[in-house]
Homo-oligomer: A and B are copies of this chain.
Amino acid sequence: MSKIKSKKVSIIMGSQSDFKTMIFCKKVLKSLNIKFETKIISAHRTPERMYQFAKNAEKNDIAVIIAGAGGSAHLPGMISALTSLPVLGVPIESKKLRGLDSLLSIAQMPKGIPVGTLAIGKDGAINAALLAASIIGNIDSKVKKNLKQFRLTQTRSVKKKPK
């Protein structure tokens, strides 16, 4: 099982503009010292690239896939349809319906093909990284330690009184 520690998180998104949100995912993974990659993969505009990516994810040492998408957000669900790795979905805020469409498109998956959905936007991107960390933490005690430290720091950072 030593190979496990060399596994990485793959952060994918449908377009460059989604990176304004997904960059927060990357930052958290970095701060927790978790290996990751970032890719643009559009379910709609690059379906072949998506197929290739998903089909090869396991052999490419990916442990968790985090997919951000907005509107008719098909990327997370389609990736999950093409691999049995854990897939987490981040609903990107859409321009018109503020991400409610993205959330429903990602969360309301039919039985058989799971996507772990996080909150709309930046908060969801951060939490996808933390959930990936907790998944990896199950087997990588260093990541678990880093995650616990992150959480502790977070707790301590909460002031007692507003001002």
A residues near B (Cβ < 8 Å) are 1, 4, 7, 13-16, 18-19, 22-24, 38-40, 42-49, 51, 63-64, 70-74, 77-78, 80-82, 84-88, 93-101, 103-123, 126-128, 130-131, 134-135, 137-139, 144, 147-148, 151, 154-155, 157-163
Contacts and interface: CB of A to CB of B under 8 A. Distances in A.
Contact of A112 (B23, B86, B105, B127): B127
Number of copies: 8
Contacts of A16: 159, 162-163
Kindly list the 8 A-B residue pairs having the minimum CB-CB distance in the complex, ordered from nearest.
A116-B116, A114-B127, A19-B162, A114-B131, A44-B113, A111-B123, A101-B104, A71-B108
Among A109, A115, A147, A154, max chain B CB count under 10 A is at A109
